[in-house]
Amino acid sequence: MRATWKGGNRFELLPEGKRFWPAMRTAIEGAREQLWIELYLMESGALAERFVQTLEAAVARGVAVRMMLDGVGSMGLARRDRQRLRAAGVELRFFNPLSVTRLGGNLMRDHRKLVVVDGEVAFTGGFGIVDEFVDAWYEVAVRVEGPVVHDWMRLFAQVWDSPLTRGGRSRARLSPRLPPAPEAVAGEGARGRVISGRGHRYQAIRLSLHGRISTARQRLWLCTPYFVPTLSLRRQLAQAARRGIDVRLLLAGGHHDHPGIRYAGQRFYGRLLKAGVQIYEFQPTFIHAKFCVADDWVSLGSCNFDHWSLQWNLEANQEIEDSAFAAEVAQLFQRNFAASQRIDAASWRRRPWWQRVREWAFGTVNAWMTRLK
């Protein structure tokens, strides 16, 4: 799907689960006709129980619910919960379930996160239906209204109709039955576009980020939980810092669901710090959010900007060009920088030998896996 900028949208930044879960639940409970849900992670637990109940209630009042989960990311969803959803009338499909007949094909995952309500309102970010997202992990989402909601629906329909998506009561294609695009919101609204990635086949997200880094005039602030950047991204960040751009990275600290990935990414700290890049490690919890701001441009969504996201996953981000929204995101960054440990270049050079060993060991494993891809 070609990424097209559209005006007349409204975007609401929803940092932390205490903001985006109530907003999303209210929207779902107010659905009149249809709900489209696309997720990578869903595991049985307290949050999943509440979510299933909400969907059961929606179907009971006549809402058509389509739910698409990744075949690997949903492996923690118990059979009883799958049966409950189907028994209630939810049309449930799974993207690319594991197969022993095509081992390499198992690497492609649907990492997108999307909820669309009545074709009028959409939510995206890095969230999943897992208990950790309620208060143990720091996450950010965005609420979307306006013409770009239609682009999110087109993206959903493409994967729903894909031969890699299994299950459901009917194999009728969804794409030809898309409703018309919503009208622009009252007032001028903000410009936005939906940008997607399909592994190495289509890397519009990567190309868009690189383009913004190369043209940034003042700032480039990037938050990603799994910092194992490509060589080209590392070079661009360093070059931007050397030409005087305020380049900052907000990364996960000691709270991490995959500590080895953190150590693998730390091997790049030295050269980035030397180039003038500022690095902050978030301290309160595991920061799972994926968002960035370059001057008045914002990108927020599912993409981690790492090798795996860019080479294998289906990803999607909401891009926004609006000075007021960018200022709000910058304020969020500032609050998170204040809750982070800034990595000092001189101190980093004096880090202990065991830290260097961890970086080398996990970095070697990561480099080996990257070559395999």
Q: Quick check: 123 and 20 in contact, CB under 8 A?
A: yes
The residue with greater pLDDT, 200 or 75, is 75
pLDDT at 200 over 90: no
Q: Are strands 91-95 and 137-138 parallel, antiparallel or unpaired?
A: unpaired
pLDDT at 197 over 80: yes
The stretch 122-126 carries a mean pLDDT of: 97
pLDDT at 69 over 90: yes
How many CA atoms within 13 Å lie on the side-chain side of 71?
17
pLDDT at 238 over 50: yes
pLDDT tens-place string over residues 301-348? 999 877 767 777 899 999 999 999 999 999 999 999 999 999 999 999
Q: Where does the pLDDT of residue 21 fall: very low under 50, low under 70, confident under 90, or very high at 90 and above? A: very high
Q: Where does the pLDDT of residue 135 fall: very low under 50, low under 70, confident under 90, or very high at 90 and above? A: confident
Instruction: Look at 190-194, 196-200, 250-254, 283-287 and tell me which has the smallest mean pLDDT.
Output: 196-200
Q: Quick check: 197 and 110 in contact, CB under 8 A?
A: no
Look at residue 369 in the predicted model and tell me its pLDDT: 66
Say how far apart CA 269 and CA 277 lie, in whole Å.
9
Instruction: Look at 20-34, 168-182, 184-198, 292-306 and tell me which has the smallest mean pLDDT.
Output: 168-182
Q: Where does the pLDDT of residue 144 fall: very low under 50, low under 70, confident under 90, or very high at 90 and above? A: very high
Q: Where does the pLDDT of residue 134 fall: very low under 50, low under 70, confident under 90, or very high at 90 and above? A: confident
Instruction: Report which residue type is found at 186.
Output: A
The stretch 136-140 carries a mean pLDDT of: 92
Q: Which helix (H) or strand (E) holds 211?
A: helix 204-215
For the chain, the average pLDDT equals: 92
Look at residue 230 in the predicted model and tell me its pLDDT: 86
pLDDT at 272 over 80: yes
Q: Where does the pLDDT of residue 364 fall: very low under 50, low under 70, confident under 90, or very high at 90 and above? A: confident
Instruction: Look at 218-232, 285-299, 355-369 and tell me which has the smallest mean pLDDT.
Output: 355-369
Give one DSSP letter per residue of 168-199, joined into a string. -S----SGGGPPPPPPPPSSS-EEEEEEEEET
pLDDT at 179 over 60: yes
Q: Quick check: 166 and 97 in contact, CB under 8 A?
A: yes
Look at residue 175 in the predicted model and tell me its pLDDT: 84
Task: Tell me the CA distances in angstroms from 53 to 58, 87, 122, one per residue in order.
Answer: 9, 12, 20
Look at residue 373 in the predicted model and tell me its pLDDT: 45
Structural domains for the chain: 6-195 (3.30.870.10), 197-372 (3.30.870.10)
Please state the pTM of the whole predicted model.
Answer: 0.94
Q: Is 280 left (phi over 0), alpha (psi -120 to 50) or beta?
A: beta
Say how far apart CA 74 and CA 44 lie, in whole Å.
9
Q: Is residue 50 exposed (0-12), middle (13-18) or buried (19+ Cβ within 10 Å)?
A: middle
pLDDT tens-place string over residues 341-361? 999 999 999 999 999 999 899
Say how far apart CA 26 and CA 41 lie, in whole Å.
21
